[in-house]
Amino acid sequence: MGRGLEFSVHRATDRAGRPVALRLAHRRFDSNANDPGVDTRALLRQEYAIARYLAAHGLPVAEARELVLADGPDSPDVLLSAFVPDDGSALDSFALGQLLARLHRVPPPRLTPVASEGTTTAGAITARVGRRWAEIGRLVDDWPAPPDAAVVAGHLAGLTEDSLLHLDVRGDNIRRRAGRPVALLDWSNALLGSPAVEFGRLIEYARHPENELDVEAVRRGYATTATVPPDSDPCLLVGRLDAALMLALVFLSEAPDPTRGPAAADHARDLALGVAARQP
């Protein structure tokens, strides 16, 4: 059904004849330009835990049924989940905004997200902004010095860890029926944080049509039950920079595009100037 950097997803049938989805790790450990050390087993464990937790709170996810860990180097770890049909309809971004408001109101699960790298969310984002900036510098000529880490951290000083953030909300990760989301998939990028960081990533994803996002419609849906973070929120600004650097590396290295790569790097540089110009 799909293939990414670390996993492939396959449709199958279980012994009872029910359709299921199998998420298979390509390797036990992986590495790419954005994330140099990926523990795929830890990500599958996280996916299993989050899906079960959110299902218990009534959120639309693919029911996680079984996690099978390999007993040898030649066998993959596998997460078996319910198969959620998708009718191929255009995504209803207003309904997506309503779903995200529900997600952000659910008390976060008691886990340490893999993406937090063992530290706070603010610390993890500050560190990866610096790391990914340096990685782009190996790919782009005349790349400037990175934004001051103290300034980035200062913008994140008000970040709370009161909400579970998906941080990979885009068309490929949303199963839908008549446009409405019926399952939010792939929790590999999840963090505990403020909704402003989620919106920062949404804004950057919406720049690319394949992600099927209408940010203004998402905001309207979100506003029906929760307060939409303003664009002036410093956490949102850093969230945009964090997302833009990730996308620049995707288009420069992971899925090279001779047009989009340089343009994405230029955009990330402009956002970094905005972060530097606005003192926390």
Between CA 202 and CA 149 the distance in angstroms is 23
Considering only CA atoms, which of 172, 79, 156 is closest in space to residue 119?
A: 156
CATH number at residue 251: 3.90.1200.10
Mean pLDDT of 204-213: 97
Q: Count of domains in the chain?
A: 1
pLDDT in tens, 103-151: 999 999 999 999 999 999 999 999 999 999 999 999 999 999 999 999 9
Domain range spanning residue 182? 2-277
> What SS3 string covers 211-244?
HCCCHHHHHHHHHCCCCCCCCCCHHHHHHHHHHH
Question: What pLDDT is recorded for position 198?
Answer: 98
